[in-house]
Amino acid sequence: MARRYDPERRDRIVDAAIKVAAERGIGALSHRAVAAEADVPLGSTTYHFKTLDDLLVAALRRTARAWLDGMAEWERDLGADVPPAERLVALIEEWLAGDRARLELEYELYLAALRRPAVRPIAAECVEEMVALVRRRTADEGTARALVAFLDGLMIQILITGRPFDRAEALAALRGMTG
């Protein structure tokens, strides 16, 4: 039997994994569910991704890249005359106004690193790149790390509790951190 040439198959499988995880959670991620979503034979998923962790790593890499590209755009567009605290608050508002399921997935994949060692390096790379981006607009590395930790903590709290975003509260905290 001849093999069908399908150079985009691996990417479709990753996209399907992201969709399955976004709609049903990481716990629902399986080779079978992803194969069905991608409309490929089950063997294709296991050919490209031997384990579920391999698939999860690919999904995290893709979602982290999109997240980090957005952060890099924010940093590039940040004028020298705009205080970082104000722009960080605007960035949070942008994230919260976007696709909620996508935001939840990004944090679910990020937090999967707590229990899945294979995912840790990608999550750690994401943190380091975020720190590097924020560091360009802060006085020192410690402040950049604190800001990234604040952003992550605030986003996780909002996503978990459903508490509305308090712009004034966040702005006051960020101004305190950035001087």
For the stretch 100-155, pLDDT in tens is 888 888 888 888 889 999 989 999 999 999 999 999 888 899 999 999 999 999 99
Contact 61, 122 (CB under 8 A): yes
Pair (90, 165) in one structural domain: yes
State how many domains the chain has.
2
11 plus 59 within the same structural domain: no
Would residue 1 count as lying in a domain? no
Q: 93 to each of 66, 86, 120, how far by Cα in Å?
A: 17, 11, 27
Q: Which amino acid is at 164?
A: P
26 with 58, same domain? no
Domain that holds residue 99: 52-178
Task: Report residue 42 as tokens.
Answer: 């089950």
* pLDDT at position 86 over 60: yes
User: For residue 2, is it within any domain?
Assistant: no
166 part of a folded domain: yes
Question: With 0-12 CB in 10 A as exposed, 13-18 as middle and 19+ as buried, what is 61?
Answer: middle
- Tell whether 40 and 64 lie within a shared domain: no
Same domain, 81 and 111: yes
Supply the pTM of this predicted model.
0.83
- pLDDT at position 161: 95
Type of residue found at 20? V
Q: Cβ distance 22 to 102 under 8 Å?
A: yes
CA distance 146 to 55: 31
Residues 6+ away with beta carbon under 8 Å from 152: 107, 110
Clarify whether residues 83 and 165 are in a common domain: yes
**Stated length of the chain:** 179
Domain co-membership, 99 together with 151:
yes
Examine residue 131 and state whether it is found in any structural domain, yes or no: yes
Q: For residue 73, what are its two tokens?
A: 């755009």
Residue 22 maps to which CATH number? 1.10.10
Contact 171, 89 (CB under 8 A): yes
| 79 part of a folded domain | yes
pLDDT at residue 76, as a whole number: 83
Q: Are residues 169 and 126 in the same domain?
A: yes
Mean pLDDT, residues 150-170 = 95
